[in-house]
Amino acid sequence: MMLPTLIKQALAASTLHFLLAQAQLSGSVGPTTSSAAKAAVKVCNIMDYGGEASATADNGAAITAAWNACKSGGQVYIPAGDYGLATWLELKNGKGVSINLEGVIYRTGSGGGNMIFVRDSSDFEFYSANAQGAVQGYGYEFHKDNTYGPRILRLYKCTNFSVHDIALVDSPAFHVSLDTCDSGEIYNMVIRGGNRGGLDGIDLWGTNIWVHDVEVTNKDECVTVKDPSSNILVEQIHCNWSGGCAMGSLASGIDIHDIEYNNVYTHHANQMYMIKSNGGNGTVSNVALNNFLGHSNAYTLDVDTAWSSMDAVAGDGIQYSNITARGWRGTCANGAQRGPVKMLCPAAVPCTSMAIDDFHVWTADGSVALHACANAYGAGSCLRAGAPTAYATTQTLTTDAGYALETTMAGELAAGLGLTASIAIPTIPASFFPGVPPRSAVLSSSTSAAKRTRVRGARGPVQTAW
């Protein structure tokens, strides 16, 4: 099959001058006014709107009423205590509004959909000023019968927002979905889900979003980018017995670019990072995957353009270009069965300007590690430079110096969490990546929320180069 002229030109250029991928945010992220400024306008305590501090009560109407009273400017306040939720929340058209959750919300309803759905809102903040706020989904009540229920949190068409210093626990389905959102920030969060597929940690699609200092436990996606997305920065993530981070599944009309992951620690996952598609069309470009550490993972770096877990989509394939994996350390479970590098691209639409650099991942079992590449062009590992000729190759490593981790992550779980009993609400940890403090200190009752939010909202674009 003849290759398009642009692909030939890209491949030729990659042999002359190769640049590692880099990405950045495209502007400020987070709320545009501080939580203190919102509270100075108005405070809507749910107890004044019929709220009841009982884990078995239904506080849906009270929270909704408080939102409607404050959604044009103010703070919805949920004090310390236990609050049941049987009626799901659809909170919309907010502007200059925050929700301060200092207690724990417990799912008592049995419907599907989204427990907390925030839509069409701007300058919005959902947080816990004492870092003790949590949502308990009691997903095990569904999972023990092999069924699913509602997501915990979904944001739709929200701009200049943040979600932080909250624990989301045992969701009946996905924990967090960011759908078509812009200029947001997710940070200082713990997500604890059962050891089962379909319980994604954070799924996001949108533009100019920063996710950092997050711990995820589940057996599916840790922090995953969906289509369409651009200018996404993900860093300081602990996939603590999780499925691992990913991009996809990707189908037709794909438009993803300027994506950067930094400082991701993963153990006992399906993969450290996976890009998954099967046919389709569109483009994925300028993706930087930096400083991934971990151990005991099945796959490590896995670019699979014929992913068998999704039905094939019409099209020759997605054009992947300028994707870099740099500074990886640790072990995979079995380097012969599932090698550390798997970069398999279609012959009709080869991957171009790829790079694998400073990559040292060895096998925990056995004495060899296999790197597999097909139709992937660039530099490093089994990638091929030169003319665009279809190829498939396997590189066999019998040793890899420098793979050892200097330190493991504090708080590693010894096993995945069960599906037949309630999962405990955790404390937000002091770190989400070995030896690195959070970008913003975890909140407490003595933290200056006004100062913190003002700093977050003023944050400009991230400039990162290597």
186: CB partners within 8 A, 6+ apart: 162, 163, 164, 176, 178, 202, 209, 210, 211, 212, 214
Is 219:242 a contact under the CB 8 Å cutoff?
yes
Cα 412 to Cα 116: distance, rounded to the nearest angstrom: 29
As a whole number of Å, the CA-based R_g of the chain is 22
Residue of 220, 227, 302, 304 marked catalytic: 220
What does the block give as tokens for 274?
């996976």
What Å distances lie between residue 59 and 86, 96, 240, 352, 427, CA to CA?
Answer: 7, 23, 32, 53, 24
446: CB partners within 8 A, 6+ apart: none
What Å distances lie between residue 352 and 230, 343, 349, 454, CA to CA?
Answer: 19, 11, 9, 42
Residue 358 bears catalytic tag = no
What does the block give as tokens for 76?
């919805």
Residue of 143, 175, 295, 371 marked catalytic: 295
234: CB partners within 8 A, 6+ apart: 210, 211, 212, 223, 225, 245, 259, 260, 261, 262, 264
Residue 220 bears catalytic tag = yes
What does the block give as tokens for 209?
């979003």
Residues labelled catalytic: 220, 295
